[in-house]
Amino acid sequence: MKIRKLFQKTQFGIFGLFGLIVLSTSALTIYTVQTHLSTEYEGNSRNIAKTIADASVDILLNRNLATLQSLIDQFVEIQGIRYVYITSDTGEFLAHTFVPGIPEVILESDPNETRAVNRQLPGMGEFVEVGSPILAGFAGTVHVGMDLDVIGLKIQRAIGQQVYLISILLVVGVLGSIWFVNLAARPLGELLAFAVKLAKEEDADGAETEHILARDDEAGELARLLLHISQRRTPADEPPPAADGTG
Amino acid sequence: MDTQNPTDKDGRTAPAARAGLTRRTFVRAGLAAMLAPPWLHSMNAGARAAAMRGIGPDGEIVLGVSAAFSGPSRGLGTELYRGAKSYFNHVNQNGGVNGRKIALKLYDDGYQPDPCVENTVKLMLEDQVFLLFGYVGTPTVTRVLPMLKKFQAQRVYLFFPFTGAQPQREPPYGDFAFNLRASYRQETAGLVNNFVRIGRRRIAMFYQADAYGRSGWAGVRAALARHGYEMAGEATYRRGTRFTGSMRAQVEILKKASPEAVICVGAYAACAAFARDAVDLGLRVPIANLSFVGSENLLNLLSEGQDDPGAYTRYLVNSQVVPSYEDTSIPAVKEYRELMARYDPQVPKELVKEAYTPFPNSFVSLEGFLDAKLMVEILRRLKGRPDRSGLQEAVFSVRDYDLGIGEAVSFGPERRQGLQKVYYTVVEDGRFVTLDDWEAKFG
């Protein structure tokens, strides 16, 4: 037990290092995943809006709004897309997927907006909305709303998985370091016990003594050195024979 | 060649014709077969296979049906089927069409587009039905139309779907479907014109958030625009909503628009829920429904268990695309009632997932009956062995045909809808009766 004190600082150092790795990796993961997924979702929304816009031209020009509605209904089935609506060049809502009605926020927004806009819709949640012009805007605009809650959930799940993995590595690393420290400390313990026996001038014979003396590492060398020193010291330390004073 | 050699009903060469074959003919035929290029053999085999399509093992003509037999709109598929089957049963019992019976291959789509597409693939490619018949709903049919275009070489046509939407009446898919009923555009225009005429100009809409609702929405919008008006307000609901669902949010939205009439484009369960909540929340204006709603089911939901059966129904006005099934002075109605009573057809048990008590008579089953009657007439006009390639010609040969409802039916390359007339009904004494005087009722 005393020997472990020798490694306490090392162990704390290892814990600290692992903690730093966990924190920095998690922070980097959160940033990367969030940035990556947000960009990807926005890009996907934009692609979907463009796909609908491209597919809508003929349908819109033929004024076939049932087919147009059928088209946008299929896109709402894609995970993350919560609403799609199409406005005409005059800003009229030609088709949409809102239930029970078009939210006031959307009704009051710019129908020709194509940049990414964050929207808070009462009773529905938070969304990022992108737009794509139909026939360069002359036939109208397609708007696609992605659910930020779904994106957030996906980010949380991705981060959770990363943190879970790193946490497992941390626990395994810490347990491993303890095991290695104990492994390294065992010969030192045996050496200490051997040295104590020599100091007490106890009988140094036995299996444990033979084991430590047989080791070919530093502990074994130290044991043999201690034995040698103890054997050399014994004659010198003996008191000199008494002088024949009567003589 | 079928036109030169007499053939039996399955297309086999008649014994008399075979007896006329000589050894020289066989030798010539053998030499011709040896010398003919290989692709000619496959073409003949392909043509023979195509000719076999749609004919059952007993020589019957197989029609493919995908409809709502489950879910909140199961009443529509069930009633349409019952009406059609009563007439097909009658025809089959009397020798069939040109000696062939008519069989229906049924699938349930629950009024959902994806199952409907899957069913259509099965009907076209696996079951190889002769034609598609009696589909139910706009969101389902609009998704199937591109399939018909994709497989246009096989000439599988869709006959008389239970929807008044435009996509199957116009390019690019109009060539693959034939309609009997008047369109939603005609129904909504009639409703708007009548409301405007009696001074109700602030018209709002409650509609299903899909292609069906949008089709009706477009019709109302266009009809209002012709009068110089805009829609007063609009609210939507999700397809599949049941009568137990709340429509209070939708009613509140429409109340803010202060409408003088509301036109509903939906199925009976949701429209009944809306009518109930509208009355409960004080929105007491005429509530119009299109023919697709399923009037009897709507009435049933709104009057069942009510102390005052008219509490929720006195504001209803429903447009119909067939005459009243109560009017037995109409020959086709008399025939329909007789055959429905005689056969009382039921949906096959394997398709029944939820209990449904059918009505002895209904607008929807009358429409199914008329669909079947015209279908039989078209099949009768096919010359020789039933072949899909002759279907379009047979349909276009229908000119001023009397179905027995007082309106002549005609088809042509530019006319893919047989009937044009719209009827209006209101609830009186617990049943739908024809509305003759809008001013007196809603003025």
Residues on chain B touching A99 (C-beta within 8 angstroms): 209, 236-238
A70, A98, A99 ranked by CB distance to B142: nearest = A70
Q: Check whether B364 has a pLDDT greater than 80.
A: yes
3-class DSSP string for chain B: CCCCCCECCCCCECHHHHHCCCHHHHHHHHHHHHHCCHHHHHHHHHHHHHHHCCECCCCCEEEEEEECCCCCCHHHHHHHHHHHHHHHHHHHHCCCECCECEEEEEEECCCCHHHHHHHHHHHHHHCCCCEEECCECHHHHHHHHHHHHHCHHHCCCEECCECCCCHHHCCCCHHHEEECCCCHHHHHHHHHHHHHHCCCCCEEEEEECCHHHHHHHHHHHHHHHHHCCCCCEEEEECCCCCCCCCCHHHHHHHHHCCCCEEEEECCHHHHHHHHHHHHHCCCCCCEEECHHHCHHHHHHHHHCCCCCCCCCCCCEEEEECCCCCCCCCCHHHHHHHHHHHHHCCCCCHHHCCCCCCCCCCCHHHHHHHHHHHHHHHHHHCCCCCCCHHHHHHHHHCCCCEECCCCCEECCECCECECCCCCEEEEEECCEEEECCCHHHHHC
What does the alpha-carbon distance between residue B178 and residue B417 come to, in Å, rounded to a whole number?
6
Would you say residue A87 lies in a domain? yes
Evaluate whether A57 touches A132 at the Cβ level (below 8 Å): no
Evaluate whether B262 touches B237 at the Cβ level (below 8 Å): no
User: How many CB atoms are closer than 10 A to CB B349?
Assistant: 6
Q: Indicate the CATH number for domain B61-182+325-412.
A: 3.40.50.2300
**CB pair distance less than 8 Å for B170 and A64:** yes
B171, B209, B218 ranked by CB distance to A65: nearest = B218
A66, A73, A99 ranked by CB distance to B166: nearest = A66
pLDDT at B12: 37
Would you say residue A119 lies in a domain? yes
**CB pair distance less than 8 Å for A73 and B138:** no
Whole-number average pLDDT of chain A: 85
Mean pLDDT for the stretch of residues A78-92: 92
Would you say residue A61 lies in a domain? yes
Which chain A residue lies closest to B239 (C-alpha atoms)?
Answer: A99
- Whether residue B214 lies within 8 A of chain A, CB to CB, comes out as yes
pLDDT tier, A242 (very low <50, low <70, confident <90, very high otherwise)? low
Q: Check whether A102 has a pLDDT greater than 50.
A: yes
Would you say residue A173 lies in a domain? no
pLDDT at A235: 57
Q: Check whether B317 has a pLDDT greater than 90.
A: yes
Q: What tokens were used for B201? A: 């100009």
Would you say residue A11 lies in a domain? yes
pLDDT at A204: 63
Q: CA end-to-end span of chain A, whole Å?
A: 59
Residue B316, min C-alpha distance to chain A (Å):
22
Would you say residue A146 lies in a domain? yes
Kindly give, in sequence order, each residue whose CB lies less than 8 Å from that of residue A166, ignoring residues fewer than 6 positions away: A21, A22, A25, A26
Please give the residue range of the domain that contains residue A31: 2-155
Kindly give, in sequence order, each residue whose CB lies less than 8 Å from that of residue B403, ignoring residues fewer than 6 positions away: B332, B370, B373, B374, B409
Residue type for position B74: R
pLDDT at A61: 81
Residue A97, min C-alpha distance to chain B (Å):
6
Task: Say how many CB pairs under 8 Å bridge A and B.
Answer: 64
DSSP string, chain A: -HHHHHHHHHHHHHHHHHHHHHHHHHHHHHHHHHHHHHHHHHHHHHHHHHHHHHHHHHHHHTT-HHHHHHHHHHHHTSTTEEEEEEE-TTS-EEEE--SS---HHHHTS-TT--S-EEEEETTTEEEEEEEEEEGGGTSEEEEEEEEHHHHHHHHHHHHHHHHHHHHHHHHHHHHHHHHHHHHHHHHHHHHHHHHHHHHTT----SHHHHHHHH--SHHHHHHHHHHHHHHHHHHHHSPPPPP-S--
Mean pLDDT for the stretch of residues A20-37: 83
pLDDT at B101: 96
Q: Check whether B95 has a pLDDT greater than 80.
A: yes
Evaluate whether B264 touches B207 at the Cβ level (below 8 Å): yes
Query: How, if at all, do strands A81-87 and A93-96 pair?
Result: antiparallel
Q: Check whether B409 has a pLDDT greater than 50.
A: yes
The strand pairing partners of B106, in sequence order, are B65
- Whether residue B235 lies within 8 A of chain A, CB to CB, comes out as yes
- Whether residue B231 lies within 8 A of chain A, CB to CB, comes out as no
**CB pair distance less than 8 Å for B139 and A70:** yes
**CB pair distance less than 8 Å for B217 and A73:** no
**CB pair distance less than 8 Å for B214 and A101:** no
CATH code assigned at A143: 3.30.450.20
B209, B215, B234 ranked by CB distance to A66: nearest = B215
pLDDT at A12: 80
Best to test chain B binding among A68, A99, A104, A107 (most B CBs inside 10 Å)? A99
pLDDT at A239: 57
Which residue, chain included where needed, has tokens 């005059």?
Answer: A90
Q: Could you tell me what percent of chain B has a pLDDT over 90?
A: 84
Best to test chain A binding among B112, B188, B214 (most A CBs inside 10 Å)? B214
pLDDT at A113: 93
Which chain A residue lies closest to B238 (C-alpha atoms)?
Answer: A99
Mean pLDDT for the stretch of residues B256-278: 97
Kindly give, in sequence order, each residue whose CB lies less than 8 Å from that of residue A89, ignoring residues fewer than 6 positions away: A137, A138, A139, A140
pLDDT at B48: 46
B138, B139, B209 ranked by CB distance to A97: nearest = B209
pLDDT tier, A127 (very low <50, low <70, confident <90, very high otherwise)? very high
φ, ψ for residue B433, nearest 5 deg: -125, 160
pLDDT tens digits, one per residue of B165-181: 999 999 889 999 999 99
Residues on chain A touching B165 (C-beta within 8 angstroms): 66
Which residue, chain included where needed, has tokens 């829920």?
Answer: B273
pLDDT tier, B79 (very low <50, low <70, confident <90, very high otherwise)? very high
What does the alpha-carbon distance between residue B339 and residue B317 come to, in Å, rounded to a whole number?
28
State the burial class of residue A173 (Cβ atoms within 10 Å of its Cβ: 0-12, 13-18, 19+).
Answer: middle
Distance of CA A39 to the CA centre of its chain: 20
Q: Check whether A1 has a pLDDT greater than 70.
A: no
Residue ranges of chain A whose CB lies within 8 Å of a chain B CB: 62-70, 73, 95-102
Would you say residue A43 lies in a domain? yes
Query: Does B61-182+325-412 match B184-320+424-442 in CATH topology?
Result: yes
**CB pair distance less than 8 Å for B214 and A100:** no
Distance of CA B48 to the CA centre of its chain: 31
Which chain A residue lies closest to B218 (C-alpha atoms)?
Answer: A65
Short-list B68, B75, B69, B70, CA closest to B272 = B75
Q: Check whether A4 has a pLDDT greater than 90.
A: no
Q: Check whether B14 has a pLDDT greater than 50.
A: no
pLDDT at A185: 82
pLDDT tens digits, one per residue of A136-180: 999 999 999 999 888 788 878 877 887 788 888 888 888 888 888
pLDDT at B337: 98
**CB pair distance less than 8 Å for A66 and B209:** no
ipTM computed for the complex: 0.79
Q: Could you tell me what percent of chain B has a pLDDT over 70?
A: 88
A63, A66, A99 ranked by CB distance to B142: nearest = A66
φ, ψ for residue B380, nearest 5 deg: -65, -30
pLDDT tens digits, one per residue of B273-286: 999 999 999 999 99
Would you say residue A233 lies in a domain? no
Residue B99, min C-alpha distance to chain A (Å):
40
**CB pair distance less than 8 Å for A70 and B236:** no
Mean pLDDT for the stretch of residues B117-144: 96
Q: Check whether B32 has a pLDDT greater than 70.
A: no
Q: Lowest-confidence range among A21-30, A82-91, A97-106?
A: A21-30
φ, ψ for residue B325, nearest 5 deg: -75, -5
Q: CA angle B314-B317-B321, nearest 5°?
A: 145
Query: How, if at all, do strands B287-289 and B316-320 pair?
Result: parallel
A63, A69, A101 ranked by CB distance to B211: nearest = A69
pLDDT at A240: 56
User: How many CB atoms are closer than 10 A to CB A23?
Assistant: 11
**Cα separation values, B207 from A115, A242, B190, B233, B284, Å:** 30, 125, 17, 11, 18
Q: Which CATH class is domain B184-320+424-442?
A: alpha beta
Which chain B residue lies closest to A70 (C-alpha atoms)?
Answer: B211
Q: Check whether B192 has a pLDDT greater than 50.
A: yes
Best to test chain B binding among A57, A59, A63, A70 (most B CBs inside 10 Å)? A70
- Whether residue B277 lies within 8 A of chain A, CB to CB, comes out as no
Q: Which of residues A204 and B420 earns the better pLDDT score? A: B420
pLDDT at A20: 87
Chain B 169-188, residues with CB within 8 Å of chain A CB atoms = 170-171
**CB pair distance less than 8 Å for A98 and B236:** yes
pLDDT tens digits, one per residue of A199-213: 887 766 777 788 888
A64, A66, A101 ranked by CB distance to B236: nearest = A101
Residues on chain B touching A96 (C-beta within 8 angstroms): 209
Q: Check whether B18 has a pLDDT greater than 50.
A: no
What does the alpha-carbon distance between residue A39 and residue A116 come to, in Å, rounded to a whole number?
11
The strand pairing partners of A152, in sequence order, are none
**CB pair distance less than 8 Å for B167 and A98:** no
What does the alpha-carbon distance between residue B14 and residue A41 come to, in Å, rounded to a whole number?
68
* Sequence spans of domains, chain B: 15-52, 61-182+325-412, 184-320+424-442
Q: Check whether A114 has a pLDDT greater than 50.
A: yes
Structural domain count, chain A: 1
Which residue, chain included where needed, has tokens 């994806």?
Answer: B114
What does the alpha-carbon distance between residue A176 and residue A187 come to, in Å, rounded to a whole number?
18
pLDDT tier, B31 (very low <50, low <70, confident <90, very high otherwise)? very low
pLDDT tier, A77 (very low <50, low <70, confident <90, very high otherwise)? confident
**CB pair distance less than 8 Å for B236 and A100:** yes
Residue A162, min C-alpha distance to chain B (Å):
37
**CB pair distance less than 8 Å for A100 and B142:** no
pLDDT tier, B38 (very low <50, low <70, confident <90, very high otherwise)? very low
